[in-house]
Amino acid sequence: MHTFVVVEIDPVGLVPHVVRYVAIEDCGRMLDRDLVEGQVRGAVAMGIGKVLLEEHTYSENGQLLTSSLRHYLPPLAPDVPAVEMHHLESLSPNTGLGSKGVGEAGTIGAFGAIANAVADAVGALRRNSLSSHTHRSAFSLLPVVTHRHEEAERVSRKEKVNS
């Protein structure tokens, strides 16, 4: 499975938006194309949500504070682009029909692909204002949320003033 992502970044608020998502999936023999494509689209939406929107926060005693949809926003239709899907078909020798699981490119692939696309895009926008250390640390935690970018920029400005 392979995932390719293109993001656009709002240059003022540093808010990322996925504009292109390509998933290449190998589910062995495809028994139902509509079912496979629906599974991949749903997985992509989940992956985008986990990477860009769904932040888990905890109290000092370890109680989860963001435990329901009242506390974080799952991806809405405008957050999920049309998914370009390509299917490979290498048959599994372990099943009678040669089929395999499906959907992993949307969930697992989203983490690295989206985070790296955001880091690359923000790096191009902010190369002169963020130190390389601060730039990297802003993307070491998921979800990739605006307040982390703002904090990274604030720290970078402080580093420049103090140097």
| Residue whose pair of structure tokens reads 């499906």 in the numeric block | 102
Q: Which pLDDT does position 138 carry in this prediction? A: 53
Question: Cα-atom radius of gyration of the chain, to the nearest Å?
Answer: 19
First-to-last CA distance in the chain? 45
Q: Which pLDDT does position 118 carry in this prediction? A: 85
Q: What's the Cα-to-Cα distance from 16 to each of 118, 129, 143, 148, rounded to whole Å? A: 7, 18, 11, 12
Q: Which pLDDT does position 73 carry in this prediction? A: 78
Q: Is 37 exposed, middle or buried (0-12, 13-18, 19+ CB in 10 A)?
A: middle
Q: Which pLDDT does position 43 carry in this prediction? A: 92
Q: Which pLDDT does position 131 carry in this prediction? A: 47
Total number of domains constituting the chain: 1
Q: What φ, ψ does residue 146 adopt, rounded to 5°?
A: -55, -40
Q: Which pLDDT does position 29 carry in this prediction? A: 92
Extract the residue ranges of the chain whose pLDDT is less than 50.
128, 130-137
Q: Which pLDDT does position 149 carry in this prediction? A: 52
Q: Which pLDDT does position 80 carry in this prediction? A: 93
Residues 79/52, Cβ–Cβ less than 8 Å? yes
Instruction: Determine the structural domain holding residue 148 and report its residue range.
Output: 2-162
DSSP letter (8 states) at residue 31: S
CATH label of the domain that carries residue 132: 3.30.365.10
Q: Which pLDDT does position 150 carry in this prediction? A: 57
